[in-house]
Chains A and B, each alone.
Chain A
């Protein structure tokens, strides 16, 4: 009994701030909903937030279809969140997940259409692999630059995001444009489409993302490579002293992070979108930053954070249809959550919280790595 209570207390210590940040964000968004209802057709209606949140919940979890939609929306966020979280562990802020997502989506679309009539395991495996490798390659570049020259990964990845989007727009127009369509796009992916396992749309990417959540957790805490990554993040000087090569680890971590970003793009492409055309949304790349922060860079935390954000996305349409509260309220809620995580003092004051100050690894990573020297060696 005491053991159970101890474990619950331990969980609460870790999860209290994120959970309360979500509660606070929902409360403030409720005020926004009430206030804006005065200007829409419904008229002033104080209980509207309850109806809206109720429908949001129903849209996300109310039926098998809803749950499937939530999982499908959450899967790429899990992978993107892992990409950011893994970087944080090594003291790196990979803002390039958006670019890596596009590269992964593009590469898997191209490989997928090439393998469209290959046997199913080969087609699916090859297309996913292509997406992962493309992301890894894109992550390796800023990783190597950071390790070798100290070029800050935030700057280089942001630049690469733009370069990637433009390069791919050119590639899909002039290099790999499939014939027979009115606009530039890649060909059909045929057998490379991820098999649907449950219901209408729950594809293979969902279990793949779950496996990677636990795989990355295992990597970080149970393997020597994970120890090296965490040591470089916690104290690069001590890492060098201990015989770890920060050059190698920083490059490798950025590659792994890029690979996860690329895989996020691959499963979205092969499981949902189906073809690459310029202008596809890379918002997963940026939502992933929020997911990693909310999950405190911990794979399990990222799993829950991705499920939450996936639920918002999946449930929002039903909310809009039944209560006329616009989908955009979700963006407000997400922004408020991040705001309260960053300004945790507010959450503490409101809830009179007595838990230890939480370390948002991302925050320390960003502040510390700005102006930091290169970690050559």
Chain B
């Protein structure tokens, strides 16, 4: 099947309801890149339309154009068949377009009702807000969608999933008939994802059109009525979920055949590199969250730590890399005690660390790529001679790593925050991977697209084959199962099970993760 071919035939097309939204030939250029290249997108009334593409493919740019945050260089937008010009978000809202951004646009200290009416306040008299009326409408809207929400609750007290629903209610409160959700599941638990899908189906049945932006193949197949795939700013295919497969979608997205499963091969474990004994660690609130963990990682093996988020993984990692002092127990690397070592002392023993939150820990977003590539090694040769930086060595390293790790960037002197999430993660990975003794990987592919995930997995295997000891912590059980030679299950700060890759049963591990026992 050739690229760009539309598998939706004309008969099916004419039986569908009228298009609520048409974007025709949308083109947007940024300096150095063509973010959107004559993109056509059509969304019918009461349709859930998935917009699928890798990070940086141009999905968000397209939706920002629709929402009036960006002006297209070329192209036309039609709503209910009528051409419209959308100058700013107020325009978009007036035309019934609602947007739920990936990072929520809520004011944490305000109540749900206050957030919902923000910008379209209903007044009672000249100074007083009419919150009661808003509260009623919010309640009615949420009941309609099958969930309940307290309009007087403060947003900061809500879970991430609840906050997302507030965003949806906010859009509907402004009478949105076309709702755009940008990567809505990226921050949700599987449970919350199921719930939000239920909400979207209700919206569909009431005639709202939904644009669902994602790079997750299974989710697009589950929820969408139609899927449009874009790659490097162009539409490369339109598919119906019943008539396609994950593999086909992945190939379309990436533009070549990708292996959804990496070939792990066999590890050859050598001597023990990381040795953790009787470790106890407290979190910031003084709670003991690691309660007696023992763990060995050998050179040339990948040990995966499986566990539901919040069972002590974070504190365990922080203790190992020196960011948190353990309350008891020992940590040794290559036989040397590093229980109370500083982060730098730990690094000096040949430890690379890819943190879960790349924007908070792994990168300085306002720095250039060059500075980010030497963030952890800026002080030593060849990047510094004495106390003075060697700009040439720093530039050379950036050029080499950009090429080696295929970082998509216009250059090495642009700021890190101009890159997409996947490319930012590649910077961290490129910096931390090398001739390490131990690699600590924390959610290394969270939020990444298929292509970047495959790339990072392949590199991880290469590191192991080169004799590095790898400790992998991931909330994604599939990732742990796929990469690990050995799997350790933790629950409430304790190791509750240990498996060889050959004998790892998904079901059993899942039960151990959830309950701490497999009975």
* Residues of A bordering B, CB below 8 Å: 222-225, 227, 231, 234-235, 237-238, 240-245, 377
Once bound together, how far apart are the Cα atoms of A238 and B424, in whole Å? 14
Check B375–A222 contact: CB distance below 8 A.
Answer: no
| Residues in chain A near residue B342, CB distance under 8 A | 243, 245
Check A240–B387 contact: CB distance below 8 A.
Answer: no
| Residues in chain A near residue B366, CB distance under 8 A | 234-235
Check B378–A224 contact: CB distance below 8 A.
Answer: yes
Check B387–A225 contact: CB distance below 8 A.
Answer: yes
Check A241–B389 contact: CB distance below 8 A.
Answer: no
Do A237 and B389 contact each other (CB < 8 Å), given the known contacts A231-B375, A243-B342, A243-B376? Answer: no
| Residues in chain B near residue A234, CB distance under 8 A | 364-367
User: Mind listing 9 A-B residue pairs with CB under 8 Å?
Assistant: A224-B378, A224-B388, A227-B371, A234-B364, A238-B375, A240-B323, A241-B362, A241-B376, A377-B323
Which of A222, A223, A235, A240 is the most central at the interface, judged by chain B CB atoms within 10 Å of its CB?
Answer: A235
Q: How far is the CB of A210 from chain B (nearest CB, A)?
A: 21
B341-389 interface (Cβ within 8 A of A): 342-344, 347, 353, 355, 360-367, 371, 375-376, 378-379, 384, 387-389
Do A238 and B363 contact each other (CB < 8 Å), given the known contacts A224-B388, A243-B342, A243-B343? Answer: yes
A245's nearest neighbour on chain B, judged by CB, is B342
Check A223–B389 contact: CB distance below 8 A.
Answer: yes
The A-B contact count (CB < 8 A) is: 57
Once bound together, how far apart are the Cα atoms of A238 and B384, in whole Å? 20
Once bound together, how far apart are the Cα atoms of A356 and B392, in whole Å? 29
Which of B363, B364, B366, B389 is the most central at the interface, judged by chain A CB atoms within 10 Å of its CB?
Answer: B364
| Residues in chain B near residue A245, CB distance under 8 A | 342
Once bound together, how far apart are the Cα atoms of A241 and B361, in whole Å? 6
Check B361–A237 contact: CB distance below 8 A.
Answer: yes
| Residues in chain B near residue A244, CB distance under 8 A | 344
Once bound together, how far apart are the Cα atoms of A238 and B364, in whole Å? 7
A-B interface, 8 closest residue pairs, ranked by CB to CB distance from nearest: A243-B344, A241-B361, A243-B343, A235-B364, A242-B376, A224-B379, A234-B364, A242-B375
Do A238 and B360 contact each other (CB < 8 Å), given the known contacts A223-B387, A225-B387, A243-B376? Answer: yes
Once bound together, how far apart are the Cα atoms of A227 and B367, in whole Å? 10
B379's nearest neighbour on chain A, judged by CB, is A224
Do A231 and B384 contact each other (CB < 8 Å), given the known contacts A224-B389, A243-B347? Answer: no
Once bound together, how far apart are the Cα atoms of A242 and B374, in whole Å? 9
A227's nearest neighbour on chain B, judged by CB, is B378
Check A241–B365 contact: CB distance below 8 A.
Answer: no
Once bound together, how far apart are the Cα atoms of A227 and B323, in whole Å? 20
Which of A222, A241, A245 is the most central at the interface, judged by chain B CB atoms within 10 Å of its CB?
Answer: A241
Which of B323, B353, B362, B375 is the most central at the interface, judged by chain A CB atoms within 10 Å of its CB?
Answer: B375
Do A231 and B347 contact each other (CB < 8 Å), given the known contacts A224-B389, A240-B323, A241-B355? Answer: no
B348's nearest neighbour on chain A, judged by CB, is A243
12 new A-B pairs (CB below 8 Å) besides A231-B367, A242-B378?
A223-B389, A224-B387, A227-B371, A234-B366, A234-B367, A235-B360, A237-B360, A237-B361, A238-B375, A241-B361, A242-B343, A243-B347
Q: How far is the CB of B282 from chain A (nearest CB, A)?
A: 15
Check A238–B362 contact: CB distance below 8 A.
Answer: yes
Check A222–B367 contact: CB distance below 8 A.
Answer: no
| Residues in chain A near residue B353, CB distance under 8 A | 241
Once bound together, how far apart are the Cα atoms of A235 and B364, in whole Å? 6
| Residues in chain A near residue B344, CB distance under 8 A | 243-244
A359's nearest neighbour on chain B, judged by CB, is B366
Q: How far is the CB of B355 from chain A (nearest CB, A)?
A: 6
| Residues in chain A near residue B363, CB distance under 8 A | 235, 238
| Residues in chain B near residue A222, CB distance under 8 A | 388-389, 391
| Residues in chain A near residue B384, CB distance under 8 A | 224
Check B379–A241 contact: CB distance below 8 A.
Answer: no
Once bound together, how far apart are the Cα atoms of A198 and B355, in whole Å? 58
Do A241 and B323 contact each other (CB < 8 Å), given the known contacts A223-B388, A223-B389, A224-B384? Answer: yes
Once bound together, how far apart are the Cα atoms of A240 and B343, in whole Å? 7
Once bound together, how far apart are the Cα atoms of A315 and B291, in whole Å? 71
Check B364–A231 contact: CB distance below 8 A.
Answer: yes
Once bound together, how far apart are the Cα atoms of A153 and B68, in whole Å? 42
| Residues in chain B near residue A240, CB distance under 8 A | 323, 343
Which of B365, B378, B384, B391 is the most central at the interface, judged by chain A CB atoms within 10 Å of its CB?
Answer: B378
Once bound together, how far apart are the Cα atoms of A1 and B170, in whole Å? 53
Mark interface residues in B11-43 (1 if CB within 8 Å of A CB, else 0).
000000000000000000000000000000000
Q: How far is the CB of A240 from chain B (nearest CB, A)?
A: 6
| Residues in chain B near residue A377, CB distance under 8 A | 323
A232's nearest neighbour on chain B, judged by CB, is B364
Q: How far is the CB of B317 from chain A (nearest CB, A)?
A: 11
Q: How far is the CB of A127 from chain B (nearest CB, A)?
A: 28
Once bound together, how far apart are the Cα atoms of A244 and B363, in whole Å? 14
Once bound together, how far apart are the Cα atoms of A223 and B383, in whole Å? 10
Q: How far is the CB of A221 from chain B (nearest CB, A)?
A: 8
Do A235 and B388 contact each other (CB < 8 Å), given the known contacts A241-B323, A242-B375? Answer: no
| Residues in chain B near residue A237, CB distance under 8 A | 360-361
Q: Pick the residue among A224, A227, A238 that contacts B361 (CB under 8 A).
A: A238
A219's nearest neighbour on chain B, judged by CB, is B387
B186-224 interface (Cβ within 8 A of A): none
| Residues in chain B near residue A242, CB distance under 8 A | 343, 375-376, 378
Once bound together, how far apart are the Cα atoms of A377 and B344, in whole Å? 12
Once bound together, how far apart are the Cα atoms of A223 and B386, in whole Å? 9
Once bound together, how far apart are the Cα atoms of A243 and B380, in whole Å? 12
B321-353 interface (Cβ within 8 A of A): 323, 342-344, 347, 353
| Residues in chain A near residue B388, CB distance under 8 A | 222-224
Once bound together, how far apart are the Cα atoms of A116 and B384, in whole Å? 43
Q: How far is the CB of A44 from chain B (nearest CB, A)?
A: 42
Once bound together, how far apart are the Cα atoms of A223 and B391, in whole Å? 10
Check A235–B387 contact: CB distance below 8 A.
Answer: no
Once bound together, how far apart are the Cα atoms of A243 and B347, in whole Å? 8
| Residues in chain A near residue B362, CB distance under 8 A | 238, 241
| Residues in chain A near residue B355, CB distance under 8 A | 241
Q: How far is the CB of A179 from chain B (nearest CB, A)?
A: 47
Once bound together, how far apart are the Cα atoms of A367 and B384, in whole Å? 34
B353's nearest neighbour on chain A, judged by CB, is A241
Q: How far is the CB of B63 from chain A (nearest CB, A)?
A: 23
Q: How far is the CB of A155 from chain B (nearest CB, A)?
A: 23
Once bound together, how far apart are the Cα atoms of A218 and B505, in whole Å? 59
Once bound together, how far apart are the Cα atoms of A231 and B389, in whole Å? 14
B355's nearest neighbour on chain A, judged by CB, is A241
A239's nearest neighbour on chain B, judged by CB, is B364
Once bound together, how far apart are the Cα atoms of A40 and B160, in whole Å? 65
| Residues in chain A near residue B323, CB distance under 8 A | 240-241, 377
Q: How far is the CB of B135 from chain A (nearest CB, A)?
A: 30
Once bound together, how far apart are the Cα atoms of A223 and B379, in whole Å? 9
| Residues in chain B near residue A238, CB distance under 8 A | 360-364, 375
A225's nearest neighbour on chain B, judged by CB, is B387
Check B343–A227 contact: CB distance below 8 A.
Answer: no
Q: How far is the CB of A86 from chain B (nearest CB, A)?
A: 16
Mark interface residues in B383-409 (1 if CB within 8 Å of A CB, else 0).
010011101000000000000000000
Once bound together, how far apart are the Cα atoms of A238 and B428, in whole Å? 12
Once bound together, how far apart are the Cα atoms of A319 and B366, in whole Å? 44
Once bound together, how far apart are the Cα atoms of A237 and B378, in whole Å? 17
Once bound together, how far apart are the Cα atoms of A235 and B365, in whole Å? 8
Once bound together, how far apart are the Cα atoms of A284 and B7, in whole Å? 74
Q: How far is the CB of A187 from chain B (nearest CB, A)?
A: 40
Once bound together, how far apart are the Cα atoms of A225 and B386, in whole Å? 11
Once bound together, how far apart are the Cα atoms of A377 and B365, in whole Å? 22
Once bound together, how far apart are the Cα atoms of A234 and B360, in whole Å? 11
| Residues in chain B near residue A225, CB distance under 8 A | 387
| Residues in chain A near residue B375, CB distance under 8 A | 231, 238, 242
B380's nearest neighbour on chain A, judged by CB, is A224
Once bound together, how far apart are the Cα atoms of A241 and B378, in whole Å? 13
Q: How far is the CB of B438 from chain A (nearest CB, A)?
A: 15
| Residues in chain A near residue B343, CB distance under 8 A | 240-243
A243's nearest neighbour on chain B, judged by CB, is B344
